Amino acid sequence: MTIIRAIDTPTLLLDHQKLLKNITDIANFAKEQGVSYRPHIKTHKSVKIAQLQVEAGAVGVTTAKISEAEVMAAGGIKDILIAYPISSPDKINRIIKLLQKGVQLKVSVDNTESIGYLQKGLEHTPYTLEVWIKVNSGLNRCGVEPGQEAVQIAKAIMSHSKLKLCGIFTHAGHSYAAKSYDEIEAIGNQEGFSVVDSANECEKAGIQIPIRSVGSTPTYKISGKVPGVTEIRPGNAVFFDAIQAGLGVTSIENCALTLLATVVGIYKNHIIIDTGSKSLCLDKGAHGNQTVSGFGHIIGHTEVLLDRLSEEHGVGILLHETNLALNDKVQIIPNHACTVVNQFNEYVVHENGIVLDVWKVDARGMVM
């Protein structure tokens, strides 16, 4: 039996009970609302965790990149949405290889030029590719504007023999910049209606849209209740992190992912821990809103503010006296779980401080 305090550091820890609770909570919400659950795996990048989500009722997964989709497919996950624009010939060839392996693939589209590239790449194959239109619900990143712009691109898709339109989706990432939960609620409602209204306009034009999908951990329990929405795609909610707690979406107690670190220096007004920007990363609030103080929440030590990171050093300012000593271990809830996971090869899975297993971060570094 190994206790987590005996592990060398820095190490990525995953609380098994909290993980399963978070997965169950999302799955139960989906069942209660009568919507499908298609989690985004860019947070955990783990085949094992994706399989747990499917066992809990997920219809498939969402990925950001083709390389993540390739890893999930190799791990037996066969229903995959790539929620990212694709138009280069090299990437289209990789999509064809996934289709050849029997993957039920869906790809994001939001302009007629990329539609043309997809059609051209598939023309001399026996495959038809399912595409979903991405609409912009306020993040102002990718996506057509809701309503008539969605109708226009839907009509363009219908004229391409190798493409099949089945869904409209969006991502309300700007919810991370909300300054209150009331603002998150407003963004979530806008998110849901941007998809539903676009789908309804398409259907008025005679184009059926069976899938209306929303994402974003801060908003999915809001947008997922909008009448007409059929699917949710939260990613970060599998773990949560300090930013989500700062937004009021969850509590610190629900955060399943922590970084185990060691105190390597004690000084008059600060301490040093053995984890810096190469492990904790430098996020202090996504999309413009700083919902956190410092670079991570040190559990049980509110007297320490993790104020500064260099590559291998974390500098904790002492707000008042601490009982921490040299070689003491601390657990840190990261500000942003997704970027931290991508720095590690494996999770050490534990329960009540006892190590249960080690799980691979299968899609680590898969950014192509």
Q: pLDDT per residue over 40-63, tens digit each?
A: 999 999 999 999 999 999 999 999
CA atoms within 13 A on the CB side of 110: 20
State the pLDDT at residue 290. Answer: 76
Q: Report the 10 Å Cβ neighbour count for 126.
A: 8
Determine the Cα–Cα distance for residues 201 and 268; give it in Å rounded to an integer: 65
108 band by pLDDT with thresholds 50, 70 and 90: very high
Please state, rounded to an integer, the average pLDDT across all residues of the chain: 96
Q: Are 119 and 160 in contact (CB under 8 A)?
A: yes
pLDDT in tens, 223-261: 999 999 999 999 999 999 999 999 999 999 999 999 999
Q: What is the percent of the chain with per-residue pLDDT over 90, rounded to a whole number?
A: 96
Starting at the edge strand that comes first in sequence, how are the strands of the sheet with 231-233 ordered?
36-37, 231-233, 211-215, 163-169, 129-134, 104-109, 79-85, 61-63
* Contacts by 225-230, CB closer than 8 A, 24 or more apart: 225/33, 225/192, 226/189, 226/191, 226/192, 226/193, 226/195, 226/196, 227/196, 228/192, 228/195, 228/196, 228/199, 228/200, 229/35, 229/192, 229/195, 229/196, 230/35, 230/36
pLDDT in tens, 169-184: 999 999 998 989 999 9
State the pLDDT at residue 321. Answer: 94
Query: Residues near 83 by Cβ (< 8 Å), separated by ≥ 6?
Result: 40, 62, 63, 64, 108, 134, 169, 171, 215, 233
287 band by pLDDT with thresholds 50, 70 and 90: confident
Alpha carbon distances (Å) from 8 to 52, 280, 312, 324, 354: 28, 16, 15, 17, 14
Q: Give the chain's length.
A: 368
Average pLDDT over residues 265-286: 93
Closest CA to 62 of 41, 36, 76: 41
Tell the residue number behind the tokens 């289709």, with chain if given: 99
Using the predicted structure, report yes or no on whether residue 336 has a pLDDT greater than 90.
yes
